[in-house]
Amino acid sequence: MLNNIYNIFFIPEIFLACSSFVCLLFGLFLKKNAFRQTSNLAVFVLLLTILLVYYDSESNFANYKSLFSHSSFINFFKILALLGSIASIIISKDYFLGIKLKNFEIPVLFLFSTLGMMLMIASNNLMSMYLAIELQSLSLYVAAAIKRDSISSAESGVKYFILGALSSGILLYGFSLIYGFTGSMNFDDISFYLSKYDNLNLGLIFGLVFVMVGLAFKVSAVPFHMWTPDVYEGAPNSITGFFAIVPKIAAVALIYRFCLVPFENFYLEWSQIILFLSIASMFLGAIAAIAQSNIKRLLAYSSIGHIGYILIALVAANDDGIKAASIYMFSYMIMNVAIFAILLSLKVKNEYLINISDLKGLSKSNPIVSLSISIIMLSMAGIPPFIGFFGKFYVFIAAIEQELYVLSVLGVLASVISAFYYLRIIKIMYFDESISEGIINFKISFQSKIILSLSLFLIICFIFYPSLLINISANLTI
Amino acid sequence: MIDWPLVSVIIFLPLIGALIILFIKEDELTSINIKWAALLTTLGTFILSLILWLQFDYSNPSYQYEEKFRWFDDFNFFYHVGVDGISLFMILLSTFLTPLCILASWNNIKKRVKEYMLSFLFLETVMIGMFASIDILLFYIFFEAVLIPMYLIIGIWGGNRRIYASFKFFLYTLLGSVLMLIAIIVMYRNTSSMSIEFLQGNYFSYNTQLFLWLAFFASFAVKIPMWPFHTWLPDAHVEAPTAGSVILAGVLLKMGGYGFIRFSLGMLPEATEFFIPLIMTLSIVAIVYTSLVALAQTDIKKLIAYSSVAHMGIVTIGIFLVNQQGLEGAMMQMISHGLVSAALFLCVGVIYDRMHTREIEFYGGLVQRMPLYATVFMIFMLGSVGLPGTSGFVGEFLVIIGAFKFSSYVVIGAAFGIILSAVYMLYLYKRIIFGTITNNKLADILDINTREKIILIPLAISVILLGIFPNLFLDPMRLSLELIITNYEIANAK
In this predicted structure, the answer to whether residue A215 has a pLDDT above a threshold of 70 is: yes
How high is the ipTM of this complex? 0.91
Question: For residue A413, which residues of chain B lie inside 8 Å, CB to CB?
Answer: 175, 178
Per-residue pLDDT, A1? 47
- The verdict on B162 touching A (C-beta cutoff 8 Å) is yes
Nearest CB to A415; choose among B112, B141, B178? B178
Residue-range domain boundaries for chain B: 6-491
- The verdict on B494 touching A (C-beta cutoff 8 Å) is no
- Chain A residue with the nearest C-alpha to that of B169: A420
The 8-class DSSP code of residue A125 comes to: B
- The verdict on A460 touching B (C-beta cutoff 8 Å) is no
| Long-range contact set of residues A206-210: C-beta below 8 Å, sequence gap at least 24 | A206/A174, A206/A177, A207/A174, A207/A175, A207/A176, A207/A177, A207/A178, A207/A180, A207/A181, A208/A174, A208/A178, A208/A263, A208/A266, A208/A269, A208/A270, A208/A273, A209/A174, A209/A273, A210/A170, A210/A171, A210/A173, A210/A174, A210/A177
Contact call for A412 and B186, based on CB within 8 A? no
Number of CB atoms found within 10 A of residue A464's CB = 9
Q: Are B391 and B467 in contact (CB under 8 A)?
A: yes
Respond yes or no on whether the N-terminal peptide bond of residue A466 is cis (omega within 30° of 0): no
Contact call for A396 and B182, based on CB within 8 A? yes
**What is the per-residue pLDDT across B400-450, written as a single tens digit (0 to 9) for each?**
999 988 888 889 988 888 899 999 999 988 888 888 888 788 777 888 888
- The verdict on A412 touching B (C-beta cutoff 8 Å) is yes
Residue-range domain boundaries for chain A: 326-478
Q: Are A334 and A257 in contact (CB under 8 A)?
A: no
Nearest CB to A383; choose among B144, B156, B166? B144
Question: Is the Cα torsion angle A314, A319, A322, A328 positive or negative in sign?
Answer: negative
Q: Give the phi and the psi of residue B229 in degrees, each rounded to 5.
A: -100, 20
State how far the Cα of A346 lies from the Cα of B280, in Å rounded to an integer: 55
Question: For residue B171, which residues of chain A lie inside 8 Å, CB to CB?
Answer: 416, 419-420, 423
Of the residues B11, B23, B74, the best mutation for testing chain A's interface (the one with the most A CB atoms within 10 Å of its CB) is B74
The secondary structure of A280-307 as a DSSP string is HHHHHHHHHHHT--BHHHHHHHHHHHHH
Mean pLDDT of all residues in A68-80: 90
Q: Are A111 and A88 in contact (CB under 8 A)?
A: no
Contact call for A430 and B74, based on CB within 8 A? no
- The verdict on A419 touching B (C-beta cutoff 8 Å) is yes
Question: For residue B71, which residues of chain A lie inside 8 Å, CB to CB?
Answer: 466
Nearest CB to A416; choose among B74, B115, B178? B178
Per-residue pLDDT, B123? 93
- Chain A residue with the nearest C-alpha to that of B140: A384
- The verdict on B150 touching A (C-beta cutoff 8 Å) is no
**Average pLDDT score over chain A:** 89
Contact call for A431 and B166, based on CB within 8 A? yes
- The verdict on B140 touching A (C-beta cutoff 8 Å) is yes
Contact call for B73 and A378, based on CB within 8 A? no
Per residue of chain B (494 residues), what is the pLDDT tens digit? 567 888 899 999 999 999 988 888 777 777 888 888 899 999 999 999 998 888 888 888 888 888 888 888 777 888 889 998 889 999 999 999 999 999 988 888 888 888 899 999 999 999 999 999 999 999 999 999 999 999 999 988 888 888 899 999 999 899 988 999 999 999 998 888 888 888 887 778 888 899 999 999 999 999 988 888 888 998 899 889 989 999 999 899 999 999 999 888 888 888 998 999 999 999 999 999 999 999 988 888 899 999 999 999 999 999 998 888 899 999 999 999 999 999 999 998 888 888 888 888 888 888 888 888 889 999 999 999 888 888 889 989 999 999 988 888 889 988 888 899 999 999 988 888 888 888 788 777 888 888 888 889 999 999 999 889 988 888 888 888 888 888 888 888 75
Contact call for B71 and A378, based on CB within 8 A? no
Residue type, B356: H
Contact call for B163 and A466, based on CB within 8 A? no
Contact call for B72 and A466, based on CB within 8 A? yes
If we measure between CA atoms, which residue out of A249, A245, A243 comes closest to residue A143?
Answer: A243
State how far the Cα of B258 lies from the Cα of B90, in Å rounded to an integer: 8
pLDDT band at A438 (very low <50, low <70, confident <90, very high): low
Contact call for B163 and A431, based on CB within 8 A? yes
Question: For residue A323, which residues of chain B lie inside 8 Å, CB to CB?
Answer: 74
State how far the Cα of B381 lies from the Cα of A396, in Å rounded to an integer: 47
Question: Is the Cα torsion angle A164, A166, A171, A175 positive or negative in sign?
Answer: positive
Question: For residue A368, which residues of chain B lie inside 8 Å, CB to CB?
Answer: none
- The verdict on B115 touching A (C-beta cutoff 8 Å) is yes
Question: For residue B178, which residues of chain A lie inside 8 Å, CB to CB?
Answer: 412-413, 415-416
- The verdict on A360 touching B (C-beta cutoff 8 Å) is no
Contact call for B185 and A471, based on CB within 8 A? no
Contact call for A466 and B71, based on CB within 8 A? yes
The secondary structure of A163-198 as a DSSP string is HHHHHHHHHHHHHHHHHHHHS--BHHHHHHHHTT-S
Question: For residue A393, which residues of chain B lie inside 8 Å, CB to CB?
Answer: 181, 185
Residue type, B275: F
The 8-class DSSP code of residue A431 comes to: I
Contact call for B171 and A416, based on CB within 8 A? yes
CA dihedral A412, A415, A416, A419 (to 10 degrees): -160
If we measure between CA atoms, which residue out of B27, B39, B153, B32 comes closest to residue B98?
Answer: B39
Number of CB atoms found within 10 A of residue A197's CB = 12
H or E element that contains B220: helix B206-223
- The verdict on B72 touching A (C-beta cutoff 8 Å) is yes
Of the residues A327, A372, A393, A462, the best mutation for testing chain B's interface (the one with the most B CB atoms within 10 Å of its CB) is A393
If we measure between CA atoms, which residue out of B371, B390, B370 comes closest to residue B380?
Answer: B390
Burial status of residue A285 (CB atoms within 10 A of its CB: 0-12, 13-18, 19 or more): buried
Per-residue pLDDT, A64? 66
Burial status of residue A58 (CB atoms within 10 A of its CB: 0-12, 13-18, 19 or more): exposed
Contact call for A397 and B71, based on CB within 8 A? no
- Chain B residue with the nearest C-alpha to that of A401: B189
State how far the Cα of B113 lies from the Cα of A428, in Å rounded to an integer: 19
